[in-house]
Amino acid sequence: MKKSLLALAVLGAFAGAASAQSSVTIYGSLDLGVTKSNGGTSGNNGGQAGNVNGGIDQRKAWTLQSANAPRLGFRGNEDLGGGMSAQFQIEHRYNVDTGTQNNAGTFWQGRSYLQLSHAAAGRVFLGRDYGASFWPAVKSDPFGFDGVAQLGTLMYGSFRSANPNTAVTRTGTTAAAAVTGLGNNVRVSNQIGYKSPSFGGLTLQIGTGLGENAVGRDDSFNVEYGAGPIYAAVAYERVKGTGSDPIATAANSRDGDRLMSFAVHYDFGIVKPMLYFSRSQVDNVNTPVGIGDVDTDFVSLGALAPIGPGTLKAAIARLKPDLGNRTKKLGLGYDYPLSKRTNLYADVGVTKTDTLTRNTTWSFGAKHTF
């Protein structure tokens, strides 16, 4: 009897050790707020969509809208020994107010990848993940690409990633039409990527999204430095070729589209200013309109400041294309934590585009993470 108990104890210890070497985590968030716009025609990145339909201006409607896209995700880790480990992550996006899927064409709309890591050599990932140029941008947006006050994908200028899930065609007879409606994607599908370990705060990330003979190959890299109060980064992304004949294919061509960006932050304790600049170039030589390159500059100054129990967020930005109208945006917001997982937020975004009317959109809501 004693031997049997001892054997069971030993087996139990081994089982506990084995299970401790791997883990799967279920995580997610729910976010919903009341949003209202004055109906200005400038639109608002992160604000509600809508237009005049049957004499009713849908842009003025009261809506329930998420600032941070609700998600349900699974991520896992397995220790392979010798400093090696394997990870995976899959993430679904949905709408809390209707219960529907956020994107009808992509169930795992968030990250969806398999990864091998080594403590000293870094990690290699395969699948759908953020392009390297995303990280300096999102870290330089005080709103983290969330809500009506966000800078978001305005920070990409006219550059749009060649994502096979949302391939589009450039059409139109004007310069503005040629750069309207391009897939606005911060994630890259069919990606092979590498992220280095930190060398005293310095990291490197590179990635290639394979076009698979359907859209252009998306190459990107970033170099980031973060130590103490300083953060600095540079990033580059470029689309190369599309389809079986990238030179002859006019529709859906993004060959030569590129984005260069820079960021620098400094945390003074009482306030953290964030400066960001990007220049995008959209190669329109092969489009039906034949207008040549469209260059767009974006510059923003953001700040985070702890005030009371919460955080004040602010940003001012300007988007200036060579062709088309300039856009200016002001964002203000405040996050009030009720706990480590639940917080209230109040945001307002004001956008003005040349020749269009000013858009002011505000939102008040709550977010819960698990």
Query: In angstroms, rounded to a whole number, what is the distance separating the alpha carbons of residues 46 and 360?
Result: 12
Residue 228 has pLDDT above 80, yes or no: yes
State the pLDDT confidence band at 213, using cuts at 50, 70 and 90: confident
Residue 153 has pLDDT above 60, yes or no: yes
Token digits of residue 303:
């700040």
Average pLDDT over residues 265-285: 91
Token digits of residue 77:
């880790």
Q: Per the domain annotation, does 19 fall within a domain?
A: no
What local confidence, expressed as pLDDT, does residue 164 receive?
A: 44
Q: Which residue has the tokens 């999102």?
A: 138
Q: Which residue has the tokens 């953060």?
A: 231
Residues whose CB falls within 8 Å of the CB of residue 264, separated by 6 or more in sequence, listed in order: 230, 231, 232, 233, 274, 275
Query: In angstroms, rounded to a whole number, what is the distance separating the alpha carbons of residues 156 and 276?
Result: 11
Residue 61 has pLDDT above 60, yes or no: yes
Q: Per the domain annotation, does 7 fall within a domain?
A: no
CB 258 within 8 A of CB 156: no
Average pLDDT over residues 340-354: 96
Q: Per the domain annotation, does 281 fall within a domain?
A: yes
Q: What is the 3-state secondary structure (H, E, C) of the chain?
A: CHHHHHHHHHHHHHHHHHHHCEEEEEEEEEEEEEEEECCCCCCCCCCCCCCEECCEEHHHCCEEECCCCCEEEEEEEEEEECCEEEEEEEEEEECCCCCCECCCCCCCCCCEEEEEEECCCEEEEEEEEECCCHHHHHHHCCCCCCCCCCCHHHHHCCCCCCCHHHCCCCCCCCHHHHCCCCCCCCEEEEEEEEECCCECCEEEEEEEECCCCCCCEEEEEEEEEEECCEEEEEEEEEEECCCCCCCCCCCCCCCCCEEEEEEEEECCCCCEEEEEEEEEEEECCCCCCCCCEEEEEEEEEEEEEEECCEEEEEEEEEEEECCCCCEEEEEEEEEEECCCCEEEEEEEEEEEECCCCCEEEEEEEEEEEC
Residue 262 has pLDDT above 50, yes or no: yes
Q: Per the domain annotation, does 12 fall within a domain?
A: no
Q: Per the domain annotation, does 18 fall within a domain?
A: no
CB 350 within 8 A of CB 327: no
Query: In angstroms, rounded to a whole number, what is the distance separating the alpha carbons of residues 230 and 233?
Result: 10
Query: In angstroms, rounded to a whole number, what is the distance separating the alpha carbons of residues 154 and 143?
Result: 13
Token digits of residue 65:
């809208």
Q: Which residue has the tokens 């947006």?
A: 141
What local confidence, expressed as pLDDT, does residue 162 receive?
A: 66
What local confidence, expressed as pLDDT, does residue 166 receive?
A: 43
**pLDDT tens digits along 182-212:** 445 789 999 999 999 999 999 999 999 998 8
Q: Which residue has the tokens 């389809």?
A: 243
Q: What is the CATH number of the domain that holds 336?
A: 2.40.160.10
Q: Per the domain annotation, does 4 fall within a domain?
A: no
Token digits of residue 354:
């040349």
Judged by average pLDDT, the poorest of 120-129, 168-177, 204-213, 346-355 is: 168-177
Residue 43 has pLDDT above 50, yes or no: yes
Token digits of residue 43:
């639109």
**pLDDT tens digits along 107-124:** 998 999 999 999 999 999
State the pLDDT confidence band at 335, using cuts at 50, 70 and 90: very high
State the pLDDT confidence band at 46, using cuts at 50, 70 and 90: confident
Range of the domain at 206: 25-369
Q: Per the domain annotation, does 8 fall within a domain?
A: no
Pairwise pLDDT comparison (267 vs 56), residue with the higher score? 267
Number of domains into which the chain is organized: 1
Average pLDDT over residues 117-135: 96
CB 239 within 8 A of CB 258: yes
Query: In angstroms, rounded to a whole number, what is the distance separating the alpha carbons of residues 176 and 31?
Result: 34
Q: Per the domain annotation, does 365 fall within a domain?
A: yes
- pTM of the prediction? 0.85
